[in-house]
Amino acid sequence: MENIVSNKTTDASIAAKLGLQADEFEKIKSILGRTPNFTELSVFSVMWSEHCSYKNSITYLKTLPRSGSALLVEAGEENAGLVDIGDGMACAFKIESHNHPSAIEPYQGAATGVGGIHRDIFTMGARPIAALNSLRFGDLKEAHTQHLVKGVVKGIGDYGNCLGVPTIGGETYFNECYNQNILVNAMSIGTVKVGHTVSAAADGPGNPVFIVGSATGKDGIHGATFASADLTEDSADDLPAVQVGDPFQEKLLLEASLEAIQTGAIVGMQDMGAAGISCSTSEMSAKSGTGMRIDLNKVPTRQADMEPFEILLSESQERMLIVCKKGMEADLEAVFDKWDLECEIIGEVTDTKKLEFYFNGELVVDIPSHDLVLGGGAPIYDREFKQAAYYDELQSFSIDNIEQPKDLVQTARDLMASPNLSSKRWIYRQYDSMVRTNSMHTNEPSDGFLVRLKGTEKAIVASVDCNASYVYADPYIGTMIAVAEAARNIACTGAKPLAVTNCLNFGNPYNPEVYWQFVNAIKGMGEACRKFETPVTGGNVSFYNQTQINQTVEPVHPTPTIGMIGLMENLDHQTGLSFKEAGDSIILLGTNRNDINQSEYLKHIHNEAKSPVPYFDLAEEARLQNLILSLISAHKVISAHDVSEGGLFFCLVEACMNNELGFEVNAESELRKDALLFGEAQSRIVISCKKENVASILQTANSMDIEAKELGLVTNETMKFDEMDFGHVSDFINIFEHTLPSYLD
């Protein structure tokens, strides 16, 4: 390869600086039959990073259930999952992380995370109709945490609002383990006609290759590598690895891309996200068994004198790579010219199965595309793992060592002020949830988040869930709970869970205890997804979520965020969480237990973080969800709200808030009062119904082997629980609504 430019001599030390291991450098030399030049090594470094290759996770990801009757593409086949929702329509959806960029530059990091996940959806030909997010921050008392919260929320809001996609829901937690390394997971949902999707393929040697959208700049260079390394005290020096977004440009790109698909000129299309041109060219070529010849001088750039590796690795936003049918170039150019977007031919598809990049007339990269990608030549590892040292210590916890508070009413008020339980209105009021007028839960809050499918009697119901404290306590059971709660939220809303996308946020995979968390989390996820018949359509793995401070490395709590969608076949099944009318009966489906493990009560009131995972039984959970769906379809339920963080009492209070009602409950239980009120044992749902339906509901529950008990009545007045008077709900609403603003305004 005499004509390859050796623009910089490389060796193992340079490879190490780019994030490659010594044996990986040797493997690259073996693949090429020579020593790579610096530009080639840079391409390998981003494509073989964890962020792109999943080299430390794919062995276990393949064990997840990946097929189902509603799936139109299997996991990993396309940019996002695709499920059949009937009437000739499909739903595309995916969740991904943008953690490290958001930790360094919260506004742009979060904004570009939103932009990137939406591009994954409309690249397939689907129009994004809804967004969700899952956020983790550190101690809210810390000024740095407050700065990060404000930046992330504004970034999400500004980008989504300008793009015109409603943010319909999400979750936010606070824990000191995220003090430096926050988590920002963004989810997008879109719809498309079946058969009208576009693949990320590069078929047809001789077909021209276009780059469309924004010009390429120096922002985001080595972003994939940045996402695949530990955050340190010096990570702010990596600020150029954070991309810069332009939502108005993305709106133009969205409309132009969907219009261009209609011309029939597009053979394949892929978003330029992580690793930029390097990734899109290699993945599209490898998928089709083809190659590409690209002239980097033809790539529109924002800055003069960009080096080849900078052009190849740039993660500048709002860009697509398109393979066009030869002879239809003018059709494609006309659409993007109409929308005033860059649209340049930069090369063509070849039959060489190699990526050949030229610069100033010289060949600067010559790499087989297959050897760069997951499923091809990218390395695969199964790391050492061992049970975390803390695990046995958690099992020694005993509820008997926790003294019950003398004033449970005041305890309830104190608990309501926990940032994890308090209202997130300060956050979501900055998001436009009503644009496109399809959001259905704004005035009628529900456990799942609904978006109507216009022209039908159907709705998509979505949920994002993960209590990382549960997963920390037991990765296997904790992750099963995350899947179960996502499904439970959807079921309580009146929809059947369909499929899952995941965002797996963990520490350094070279840490055996972190890898133990990961392996067991995957096992738990797989078992739960098989039980609920919700196959995993894809998602994202984010390792290296930890921070080095004063030579001490602390991984975040394992946080396998579950993004789940369900289908509501009839809009009249929509079920909110709020009590509607005084005199209605309140029923608990499921069993109260003497369990305060990992509860917000235990952590916030007693400052005790070391306890096992709360009670959970997968078979029992599945029966409970079948029960609630049966009752809703029979129109016997007025409201349904699952018991989760904060326990039974918090569930009841939330059900009162929207209509400012009360309750009178007599639990008739021998359990400890704090466990009864605030324990977080799983598989429980509080419903309200008309008095005449109580007997039928109890009988149905018994027939499905679920304990059910009539607790009491909805009232107009105060909230009473076992003769304890908790006062008017307005007092709790005041605490609930003002906690976050007291820190952030």
Residues marked active site are found at 51, 98
How far apart, in whole angstroms, are the C-alpha atoms of residue 577 and residue 444?
8
Report the 10 Å Cβ neighbour count for 156. Answer: 28
How far apart, in whole angstroms, are the C-alpha atoms of residue 242 and residue 104?
8
The secondary structure element, H or E, covering residue 651 is helix 647-657
Burial of 693-727, coded b for 16+ CB within 10 Å and e otherwise, reads bbeebbebbeeeebbbbbbbbbbeeebbbeeeebe
Partnered with residue 663 across adjacent β-strands are: 714, 719
Report the 10 Å Cβ neighbour count for 622. Answer: 17
Tally the C-alpha atoms within 13 A of residue 498's C-alpha that lie toward its C-beta: 27
Distance between start and end Cα atoms, the chain: 62
Tally the C-alpha atoms within 13 A of residue 601's C-alpha that lie toward its C-beta: 32
- Report which residue type is found at 584: D
How far apart, in whole angstroms, are the C-alpha atoms of residue 33 and residue 603?
58
List, as one string, the DSSP characters of 518-532: HHHHHHHHHHHHHHH
Structure tokens at 295: 């002239």
Instruction: Tell me the C-alpha to C-alpha distance, in Å, between residue 298 and each of 147, 348, 359, 360.
Output: 41, 12, 9, 10
Task: State phi, psi for 564 to the nearest 5 degrees.
Answer: -125, 145
Which of 480, 462, 528 is closest to 92 using CA atoms? Answer: 462
How far apart, in whole angstroms, are the C-alpha atoms of residue 486 and residue 71?
19
How far apart, in whole angstroms, are the C-alpha atoms of residue 50 and residue 183?
17
Q: What angle do CA 60, 24, 63 make, to 5 degrees?
A: 10
How far apart, in whole angstroms, are the C-alpha atoms of residue 226 and residue 242?
9
Burial class (CB in 10 A: 0-12, 13-18, 19+), 196: middle
Edge-to-edge, what's the strand order for the sheet holding 536-542? Answer: 449-452, 459-465, 559-568, 496-505, 536-542
Q: What angle do CA 680, 150, 101 make, to 5 degrees?
A: 90
Which residue has 């704090």 as its token pair? 674
DSSP, collapsed to helix, strand or coil, labels residue 655 as helix
Task: State phi, psi for 274 to the nearest 5 degrees.
Answer: -60, 135
Question: Which residues, in sequence order, are CB contacts of 482 under 8 Å at separation 6+?
Answer: 465, 466, 467, 470, 471, 525, 560, 561, 562
- Report which residue type is found at 40: E
Instruction: Tell me the C-alpha to C-alpha distance, in Å, between residue 59 and each of 53, 54, 381, 518, 595.
Output: 11, 9, 7, 12, 36
Partnered with residue 719 across adjacent β-strands are: 663
Question: What's 442's DSSP letter?
Answer: S
